[in-house]
Structure 1
């Protein structure tokens, strides 16, 4: 198990985003074959998926490394076109986005409307010390996001907003713990008419809890509300602690709700859970979090995903956590530029903002690797190119198929470039990369950090 001192790394990566270094998961073969959690180089929580223009954009929180509380300072964005290879888009919104916020970048959700993306998040209002709901807005699903109104949209000390737009065009915002609140948003998505109202938490609507007279229903927090085939679904974290995921349905956006039962039973090593559900490329996907990464737990969580199929009557089946994750929904094209931070499984690597824009993979040491699933080489690749930088002596990119110690189809040497953000391109010949296969970029060299990678591309 590999761990790196962030304080030691800082002088070598001036201006870089220092994130938690987890493990060389290659030392854990049973884990290294898995693809859940879908992010391995940092802790993530509270998944909120959004489908837009052929990709799933996944908005998450970020648990700080070694946290013993819900210590969260920023939100992150990831995306995928195939449900297995996920691109790290960094942190386009943080507590600093909201000048009036003091702490707690907790669970939110983003939605697209009017050519813009609106991200509803709970934070503590510095002026009142209470939880409030802020709104970030951006022109792109990956940001950067800015404060849409310069103040809270709503504030009553409660958390976990979810948002959806009904077929009629009416937008709805829900949030709350211990209550469940609702308000109809105006078309501008940053204001509302009327006042927020409470949705009655009845045992018929949200199940019966025992042992807590102050909370008679199972509803705890973290609603995810959506509509399917004319039926409204409210998926929520139930009965702390440990939580499980349950759901209710209704004929209208405010009820009356009918409790339908458990989706994901209590399991995993996190005492909270938080769900998001989307349909993508003809299938349905259930996102959640657990504590499955090394060092993981209730305050160091990781986002995962499962594919599922609704029952014929519209009910949701029981879904259990797996390490295999969702199956591949598409192939990856190696003949167009692919960001190095697009990863199905990474061992030892991290990401950071790149001087050339976007993110790059860094903190690479000997034996680290990146896995990509379902790479469609077709009749065969002949060249491999990569954008690299090194403030040290460099090393080698080993292009392998099938596993981190699989068949070598090419080797690209990387020399020192005089700085970790001094970028250059390298190329090498490829032989034997045909068909659709899992690709492993394995990095080798001397001791210490070797080089960074910004992007890669094969040539036919």
Structure 2
């Protein structure tokens, strides 16, 4: 989510200078941030068909403000290897909108997927909540109503959507105010009036020394249910934001302040919660500025496992290196997208009409790590990859086991194809590899940028 444009903008430089003193996580040992090929923010997880999908916003490289044009999608079945599905929607897909692509959330109902987004209306130059619909989580999404779904006088950003056990759907949003509506079963209209939630100290905690905002609530609500208790997670002020939570026995409140879930950390003065249950665990998504060049306008999504006390309260957690143990292994004997990544350095994500999403190595030593690859007992004997380069100078792809300096099982010369719309298959016999290993794909070469394009890979027995 993003703070409302107001006089608070003048405070951002002060907080940025303070936050620069916070150290980043060491990339070589990290699982967080979970996306390294571009800047991402405002995580919105969704589970469907035993796979976790994560919708994010996208901060432009080198941005000095919230430069955000589209929403992206990532997915995983093991919580350590994440597949980049690229852009699924842009604010320009709404004819009535002029910008921007801030925090959104997607939910499934009756085989349709509804993505709720905040954009700027052309008609009155104010924020509004729109909705897009698709038949799959990957899209394509389209605007079914051709107008805003909801709009108030000010601050219509950061929608969160929730369907209760009785089938009633709720949509919350807002900064500096907090609103909600009851959605109709069609998910693209609502019943009754927009409700403005009372922001009381009992519900959202007390903010010190700010007569204009007496409670901690700032923006970015996330509605979640566990057992019979409803949780509303939200970034709290003043800047830099922490994440707090409130609870209720009804999705309509009244809410009771529960405390701080995550203190202000991580070099980004904003934050945004996303909470989801997946394969018997609960996960807490957020964003920070931990990537190289990261900060308040170049953020990165991360995740932690969330625990609960017996009474339903939440013990405070800190930003860490992330999920250390995967929930499943990866099958190397099927086609695996190169943009399925546990961790990487030196690669950027790209997208075109020929192959969809792919990754580009931008310097010598660029690498991709893939976790928990299971070669089974028989083992692999051959490796194949779809690659390309524009360079005549030698560029090679090394395949290593266990670490960047681990056993090199293959080294493939990348043929000059001429561009990212032209590709070649390269293969190499490898020594028999059995069991479960982390795999490192390491690019070597003298060119200064765009060394190699990488689309997919596969091992054969």
Q: 344, 347, 361: which one pairs with 2:342?
A: 344
C-alpha separation between the residues in 2 aligned to 1:295 and 1:29?
13
Please list the CA deviations of residues 86-126 of structure 1 after superposition, one character each: whole Å capped at 9, or x if unmatched: 11111111121111111221111111112111111111111
Alpha-carbon deviation of 1:55?
Answer: 1.3
Q: Which moved more, 1:392-401 or 1:90-99?
A: 392-401
Q: What secondary structure sits across from 1:146 in the alignment?
A: coil
CA RMSD of aligned residues (A): 1.6
Report the equivalent of 2:20. Answer: none
C-alpha separation between the residues in 2 aligned to 1:149 and 1:70?
27
Report the equivalent of 2:447. Answer: 447
Confirm or deny that 1:98 pairs with 2:97.
no
Confirm or deny that 1:153 pairs with 2:149.
yes
Alignment check: 8 A CA contact 1:350 1:361 kept:
yes
Alignment check: 8 A CA contact 2:160 2:173 kept:
yes
Please list the CA deviations of residues 157-177 of structure 1 after superposition, one character each: whole Å capped at 9, or x if unmatched: 221100010001111000111
Alpha-carbon deviation of 1:358?
Answer: 2.5
C-alpha separation between the residues in 1 aligned to 2:436 and 2:302?
24
C-alpha separation between the residues in 1 aligned to 2:124 and 2:62?
29
Unaligned runs of 5+ in 1: 1-27
Report the equivalent of 1:392. Answer: 391
Equivalent runs, 1:222-237 vs 2, <5 Å: 222-237=220-235
C-alpha separation between the residues in 2 aligned to 1:29 and 1:234?
28
4+ long deviations beyond 6 Å: none
Equivalent runs, 1:370-381 vs 2, <5 Å: 370-379=368-377, 380-381=379-380
Alpha-carbon deviation of 1:363?
Answer: 4.0
Alignment check: 8 A CA contact 2:308 2:314 kept:
yes
C-alpha separation between the residues in 2 aligned to 1:207 and 1:365?
48
Q: 32, 35, 39: which one pairs with 1:36?
A: 32
Alignment check: 8 A CA contact 1:374 1:438 kept:
yes
Q: What secondary structure sits across from 1:237 in the alignment?
A: strand
Unaligned runs of 5+ in 2: 1-23
C-alpha separation between the residues in 1 aligned to 2:109 and 2:179?
22
Alpha-carbon deviation of 1:326?
Answer: 5.0
Equivalent runs, 1:390-429 vs 2, <5 Å: 390-393=389-392, 395-429=395-429
Q: What secondary structure sits across from 2:43 in the alignment?
A: strand
Report the equivalent of 1:6. Answer: none
C-alpha separation between the residues in 1 aligned to 2:88 and 2:353?
16
Alignment check: 8 A CA contact 1:409 1:430 kept:
yes
Q: 105, 129, 144: which one pairs with 1:133?
A: 129
Alignment check: 8 A CA contact 2:106 2:114 kept:
yes
Please list the CA deviations of residues 267-289 of structure 1 after superposition, one character each: whole Å capped at 9, or x if unmatched: 11111110001111111111000
Aligned residue pair count: 433
Please list the CA deviations of residues 109-150 of structure 1 after superposition, one character each: whole Å capped at 9, or x if unmatched: 111112111111111111101110011111111122211211
Q: 105, 116, 119: which one pairs with 1:120?
A: 116
